[in-house]
């Protein structure tokens, strides 16, 4: 199966791929957590003692409609750092009950503390190199910085990187048709991973060193150009999105990639 995970779900998808490689053919990470400590500063605040009381007041009936209206209005302005305001308003709306707030904080405290994200995929990322992977990120993500997309791209040598310049943390919700298009293309142009128990055991034993080339690396599909310079292509078929597509096996963001991201954030 192709496993797709967004944000915290990205961490769940990675864990699933590690634990059940025989069931995972491809991996897609969308604005995924677990790639570095950096995160929206509000989230660590919500993990400290006393935050539950603050959340109770902030989500009370008198405050809730005002806050949702303000967040929605901010999103419409298009000002910097407001790209995620509307989608975060939907998350905020879901925290109206005490039980939902308790569950939210319980999950949050398992992956974030006052320092930021505390769960990482870095120590086991090499295992995902044995399956086709795609990383999708919004260029205006205000929850987890887009720089983490390049971190993931570096750790997964044969991965495909897709940046949606005008989207925030929820590219699949903001541009669902475009997201479905690249997901369909990724699935149709990659060779599904074949689980080899002996190879998997050797990879675990060597702890991070590729003991042999991944199957999909030997049969690249369209959009995969091993050992090539990364390219940023503006998708003219969707001028309203101006989605930037990054295809390659780059080991770090190049000047052109940085300019594309900076231009989207401006």
Write the CB contacts of 11 (distance below 8 Å, at least 6 apart in sequence).
5, 32, 33, 34, 111, 119, 121
Structure confidence at residue 213 (pLDDT): 52
Residues 112 and 145 in one domain: no
Residues 6, 75, 169, 216: which is the catalytic one? Answer: 169
Torsion of CA 27, 30, 32, 35, to 10 degrees: 70
Residues 7, 32, 241, 250: which is the catalytic one? Answer: 7
- Structure tokens of 121? 């995929």
Q: Give the CATH number for residue 131.
A: 3.40.50
Mean pLDDT by 10 residues, the chain (266 residues): 94 90 94 94 92 91 94 92 94 92 93 91 79 95 96 89 96 97 96 87 72 49 35 35 40 46 47
Among candidate residues 116, 142, 162, the one where a domain is terminated: 116
Residues 141, 148, 153, 178: which is the catalytic one? Answer: 141
Residues 171 and 242 in one domain: yes
Residues 175 and 234 in one domain: yes
Distance between CA 144 and CA 55 in Å, rounded?
21
Please indicate whether residue 169 is annotated as part of the active site.
yes
Among candidate residues 98, 116, 134, the one where a domain is terminated: 116
């Amino acid at each position: 199966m192709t496993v797709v995970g967004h944000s915290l779900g990205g961490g769940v998808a990675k864990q699933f791929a590690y634990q059940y490689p025989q069931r995972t053919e491809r991996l897609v990470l969308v604005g995924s957590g677990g790639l570095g400590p950096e995160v929206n500063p509000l989230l660590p605040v919500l993990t400290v003692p006393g935050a539950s009381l603050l959340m109770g007041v902030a989500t009370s009936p008198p405050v809730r409609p005002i806050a949702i209206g303000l967040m929605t209005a901010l999103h419409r302005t298009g000002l910097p750092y407001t790209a995620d305001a509307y989608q975060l308003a939907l998350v905020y709306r879901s925290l109206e009950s005490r039980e939902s707030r308790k569950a939210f904080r319980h999950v949050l405290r398992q992956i974030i503390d006052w320092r930021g994200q505390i769960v990482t995929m870095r120590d086991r990322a090499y295992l995902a190199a044995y399956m086709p992977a795609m990383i999708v990120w919004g260029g205006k993500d205000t929850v987890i910085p887009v720089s983490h997309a390049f971190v993931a791209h570096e750790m997964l040598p044969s991965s495909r990187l897709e940046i949606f310049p005008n989207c925030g943390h929820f590219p699949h919700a903001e541009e669902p048709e475009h997201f479905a298009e690249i997901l369909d293309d990724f699935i149709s142009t990659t060779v599904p991973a074949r689980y080899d128990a002996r190879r998997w055991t050797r990879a675990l034993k060597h702890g991070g060193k590729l003991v042999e080339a991944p199957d999909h690396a030997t049969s690249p599909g369209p959009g995969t150009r091993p050992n090539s310079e990364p390219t940023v292509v503006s998708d003219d078929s969707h001028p309203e999105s101006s989605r930037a597509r990054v295809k390659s096996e780059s080991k770090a963001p190049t000047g052109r990639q940085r300019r594309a991201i900076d231009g989207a954030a401006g």
